[in-house]
């Protein structure tokens, strides 16, 4: 079959290519459909379609991907069948074994497809039915991507109130059916694993009040086995929810993790927690299954492919567009987000991108331009110091009066959230250095950088401008697609705080106001509704950003979305007498409709 490449593939006859040379035994015609349906129903999780980037070759660029499934351990490992639209030729690809659980096995099917001039659809299945379809964009096809974050819940009550994650995934799939997306970008919190701390095996450790004892108690075998079962089972159940699962099977995805993919607040806790054997043991297992389900690799394979000591990576999405997925969790502590070595390696790799790349999406998971919360952080930290002090405990005992303000670790519940922010008192200098490097890189390469972020349970957009040379970057905030939005009164406060220009560390930033398509509503900056974003390359180097925001509904009515749009204009060369080579975004970076 033209375009599809698999290792050790051999030609068997004029119409079929087989991996390993042996055709599968075809069932008799009368039971073919029955066996196919039986196998499809046996899939525990998946198929999950992962985009692995575009690579150059002598015969033209190749689109790389892989598909992951979880099936019962007792089931024979099937071959993957891929068939291009309008063709009777098929490719059969044998699986790579990645993991064995108590009753399940995890298989991956890697493949490459030669990019054609036009978009091509491919059907795939694991027996005889062409159950799933994905689209490979043509070499010159304008990129169309979907972006989301915060795809889960912290409580069952919130999940029931919001009717689960299904409504907006149904909306996204509807838009995909109308005009296919080429890539699905997961900006963090693809799943919520905070429930790990409800495991009975961890309660003894949680009950310890002494910090030194917590830091010394080992992560024992019973803990390890229970936590392993929890992450594996939760991934299988969460990634197999109907609408979400169908999207993951038909839209090639790229994902990066945030705290809830580990557990709430990971990396922003005090050292006695972060460095304890139990915290580190849970993190190691969370990382193993993040790699397995979201990156489709093992720990060993991650060492061979990753860019940094964390799990950051860079993919070429098209001839002109690349994406940087920055891992802001693996190296995080209260004092840093990423190490200086990580930033150096990332920008070295970015510098090696092809000269055709003119657009770079940078996924940061947490907004880098957002109303400052440093005063809240200082107040919460002072309160934490008071209730944790020995004098306070001697007088009042354990702070039961404040139990609603505390998390399961005995820390102020909101302190990890404000500590996660780039404008945290501990991260402001790192934020400044990153923005400086991003602006300098964009200027040197004539590249437009668009930041994609989420986490804050609100949707919106911002602009970051260098006060030194006028370079501009747009930040797109999309959150949550599944979880409950931030309270409206909190978003109103943030709206006011971000609605006027804020100057900090040599940069000017502003939250941008936008209207609906029908332009009858009053312009607003942030909105407190579930949402997701569509990014479309348009003529004349423009990027259309479409926010699909969940509408209010009558009791029992269907949840629907309404669209907001902004346009990111192209970078143009502005002559400057003092610095003629600076590249800047043109005046009026965003057109809002």
SS (H, E, C) 158-226: HHHHCCCCHHHHHHHHHHHHHCCCCEEEECCCCCCCHHHHHCHHHHHHHHCCCHHHHHHCCCCHHHHHH
Q: Between 512 and 535, where is the model more confident?
A: 535
Q: What is the pLDDT of residue 388?
A: 52
Residue-level pLDDT at 374: 53
- The answer on 577 and 435 residing in a single domain is yes
Terminal Cα-to-Cα distance of the chain (whole angstroms): 45
Residues 470 and 494 in one domain: yes
**In this structure, are 470 and 545 located in the same domain?**
yes
- Domain assignment present for 456: yes
Distance in angstroms (rounded) separating the CA atoms of residues 169 and 153: 15
Task: Say which residue, 400 or 537, is predicted with more confidence.
Answer: 537
* CA angle (327, 245, 74) in 5-degree steps: 100
Q: What is the per-residue pLDDT for 21?
A: 31
Lowest mean pLDDT segment, chosen from 13-17, 96-100, 181-185, 411-415 = 13-17
Question: Which residues are registered as beta bridge partners of 84?
Answer: 122
Tell me: do 37 and 158 sit in the same domain. Answer: no
Two structure tokens written together for 90: 């098929």
Co-location of 240 and 118 in the same domain: no
**Residue where a domain terminates, one of 90, 118, 136:** 136
* Number of separate domains in the chain: 2
For the beta carbon of residue 215, count every other beta carbon within 10 angstroms: 17
Please indicate, yes or no, whether residues 189 and 60 belong to a single structural domain of this protein.
no
Q: Are residues 84 and 201 in the same domain?
A: no
- State yes or no: pLDDT of 515 exceeds 50: yes
Please state, rounded to an integer, the average pLDDT across all residues of the chain.
82
Tokens of 66: 């892989």
Question: Where residue 62 sits, what CATH number does that domain have?
Answer: 2.60.40
Is a pLDDT exceeding 60 seen at residue 190?
Answer: yes
Q: Which residues contact 241 (CB under 8 A, 6 or more apart)?
A: 164, 165, 166, 169
Q: Picking from 228-232, 438-442, 507-511, 544-548, which range would have the lowest pLDDT averaged per residue?
A: 507-511
Question: Are residues 161 and 173 in contact, defined by beta-carbon separation less than 8 angstroms?
Answer: no
Residue 565 token pair: 């749009």
In a domain, 309, yes or no: yes
- pLDDT digit string, tens, across residues 79-92: 999 999 988 888 99
**H-assigned helices in 399-528:** 415-420, 428-445, 488-498
**Does residue 63 carry a pLDDT above 50?**
yes
Question: Is the pLDDT at 577 greater than 60, yes or no?
Answer: no
Assigned domain for 326 exists: yes
Which residues, 6+ apart, have CB-to-CB distance to 438 below 8 Å? 362, 449, 473
578 part of a folded domain: yes
- Which structure tokens are listed for 4? 């599809």
Q: Residue 390's pLDDT band (boundaries 50, 70, 90)? A: very low
Contact 367, 473 (CB under 8 A): no
The dihedral built from the CA positions of residue 167, 168, 169 and 175, taken in this order, carries a sign that is: positive
Strands, E, within 335-459: which ranges? 359-365, 448-453
Q: Does residue 171 sit in the same domain as residue 113?
A: no
Residue linked to tokens 């799990």: 311
Residue 460 contacts residue 453 (beta carbons within 8 Å): no
Q: Is the pLDDT of residue 306 over 70?
A: no
**Joined tokens for residue 305:** 């492919």
* Dist CA 55 CA 477 (whole Å): 29
379 located within any domain = no
Distances (CA, A) of 386 to 238, 379, 381, 416: 39, 11, 9, 17
Residue 244 resides in a domain: yes
Task: Say whether pLDDT at 376 is over 90.
Answer: no
**Domain-embedded: residue 228:** yes
226 pLDDT higher than 80: yes
Q: Which of 50-54, 422-426, 496-500 has the lowest mean pLDDT?
A: 496-500
| Same domain, residue pair 162 and 225 | yes
Looking at residues 330-344, what average pLDDT do you find? 94
In this prediction, residues 400-407 reach a mean pLDDT of 52
Question: How many other CB atoms are there within 10 angstroms of residue 516's CB atom?
Answer: 17
**Rounded mean pLDDT of 538-553?**
89
Residues 251, 341, single domain; the answer is yes
Q: If you write DSSP's letter for every residue of 39-98 in order, what string do you get? A: HHHH-SEEEEEEEEEEE--TTS-EEEEEEEEEEETTSPPPPEEEEETT---EEEE--EEE
Model pLDDT, residue 522: 58
The reported pTM is 0.88
* Residue owning tokens 């994650």: 165
CA distance 236 to 103: 12
Domain boundary among 80, 103, 136: 136
Q: Which two tokens stand for residue 111?
A: 């493949």
pLDDT of residue 403: 47
176 shares a domain with 30: no
Residue 219 pLDDT > 50: yes
pLDDT at 402: 47
pLDDT band for position 302 (50/70/90)?
confident
Asked if 73 and 101 sit in the same domain, the reply is yes
244-253, 341-350, 369-378: range with lowest mean pLDDT: 369-378
- Produce one character per residue of 402-424: b if its CB has 16 or more CB atoms within 10 Å, e if not: eeebbbebbbbbbbbbbbbbbbb
Q: Is 361 a member of any domain?
A: yes
Question: Domain of 109?
Answer: 4-136
| Residue 33 pLDDT class (50, 70, 90 cuts) | very low
Q: CA distances (Å), 278 to each of 215, 269, 275, 335, 419, in order?
A: 8, 13, 8, 21, 21
> Running DSSP on this structure, what letter comes out for residue 163?
T
Q: CATH code at 571?
A: 3.60.21.70
Tell me the two tokens of residue 59: 């015969």
pLDDT (0 to 100) of residue 7: 40
Residue where a domain stops, chosen among 136, 166, 190: 136
Helix, strand, coil fractions of the chain, as percent rounded to 5: 30, 25, 40
pLDDT in tens, 436-473: 999 999 989 989 999 999 999 999 999 998 888 778 89
Q: Give the per-residue pLDDT at 430.
A: 96
* CA 382 to chain CA centroid, nearest Å: 33
Q: Which residue has the higher pLDDT, 416 or 487?
A: 487
């Amino acid at each position: 079959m033209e375009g599809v490449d698999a290792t050790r593939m051999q030609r068997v006859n004029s119409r079929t290519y087989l991996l390993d040379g042996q055709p599968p035994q075809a069932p008799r015609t009368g039971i073919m459909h029955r066996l196919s349906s039986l196998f499809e129903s046996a899939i525990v999780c998946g198929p999950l379609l992962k985009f692995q980037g575009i690579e150059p070759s002598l015969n033209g660029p190749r689109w790389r991907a892989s598909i992951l499934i979880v099936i019962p351990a007792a089931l024979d490992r099937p071959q993957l069948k891929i068939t291009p639209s309008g063709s009777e030729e098929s490719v059969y690809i044998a699986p790579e074994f990645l993991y064995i659980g108590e009753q399940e096995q995890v298989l991956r099917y890697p493949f490459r497809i030669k990019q054609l001039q036009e978009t091509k659809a491919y059907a795939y299945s694991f027996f005889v039915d062409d159950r799933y379809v994905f689209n490979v964009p043509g070499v010159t096809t304008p990129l169309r991507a979907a972006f989301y974050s915060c795809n889960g819940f912290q409580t069952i009550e919130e999940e029931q109130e919001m009717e689960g994650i299904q409504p907006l995934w149904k909306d996204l799939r509807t838009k995909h059916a109308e005009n296919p997306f080429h890539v699905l970008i997961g900006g963090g919190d693809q799943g919520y694993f905070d429930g790990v701390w409800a495991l009975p095996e961890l309660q003894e450790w949680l009950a310890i009040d002494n910090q030194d004892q917590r830091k010394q108690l080992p992560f024992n075998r019973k803990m390890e086995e229970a936590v392993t079962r929890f992450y594996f089972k939760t991934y299988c159940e969460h990634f197999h929810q109907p609408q979400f699962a169908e999207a993951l099977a038909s839209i090639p995805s790229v994902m990066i993790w945030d705290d809830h993919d580990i557990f709430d607040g990971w990396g922003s806790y005090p050292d006695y927690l972060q460095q304890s054997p139990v915290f580190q043991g849970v993190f190691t297992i969370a990382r193993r299954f993040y790699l397995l389900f979201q990156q489709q690799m093992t720990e060993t394979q991650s060492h061979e492919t990753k860019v940094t000591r964390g799990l950051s990576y860079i993919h070429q999405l098209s001839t002109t567009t690349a994406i940087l997925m920055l891992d802001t969790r693996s190296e995080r502590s209260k004092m840093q987000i990423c190490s200086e070595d990580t930033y150096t390696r990332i920008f070295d790799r970015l510098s090696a991108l092809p000269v055709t790349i003119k657009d770079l999406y940078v996924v940061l998971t947490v907004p880098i331009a957002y109303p400052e919360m440093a005063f809240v952080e200082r107040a919460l930290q002072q309160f934490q110091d008071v209730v944790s002090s020995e004098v306070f405990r001697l007088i009042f005992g354990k702070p039961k009066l404040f139990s609603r303000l505390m998390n399961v670790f005995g820390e102020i519940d909101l302190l990890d959230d404000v500590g996660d922010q780039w404008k945290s008192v501990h991260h402001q200098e790192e934020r400044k250095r990153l923005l400086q490097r991003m602006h300098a890189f964009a200027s040197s390469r004539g590249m437009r950088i668009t930041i994609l972020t989420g986490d804050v349970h609100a949707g919106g957009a911002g602009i970051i401008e260098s006060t030194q040379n006028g370079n501009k970057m747009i930040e797109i905030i999309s959150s949550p697609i599944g979880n409950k939005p931030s309270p409206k009164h909190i978003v109103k406060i943030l709206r006011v705080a971000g609605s006027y220009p804020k100057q900090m560390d040599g940069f000017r930033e502003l939250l941008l106001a936008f209207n609906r398509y029908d332009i009858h509503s009053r312009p607003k900056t942030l909105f407190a509704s579930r949402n997701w974003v569509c990014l479309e390359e348009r003529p004349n180097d423009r990027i259309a950003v479409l926010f699909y925001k969940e509408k209010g509904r009558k009791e029992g009515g269907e949840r629907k979305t309404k669209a907001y749009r902004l346009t990111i204009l192209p970078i143009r060369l502005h002559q400057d007498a003092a610095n003629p080579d600076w590249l800047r975004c043109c005046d009026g970076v965003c057109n809002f409709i």
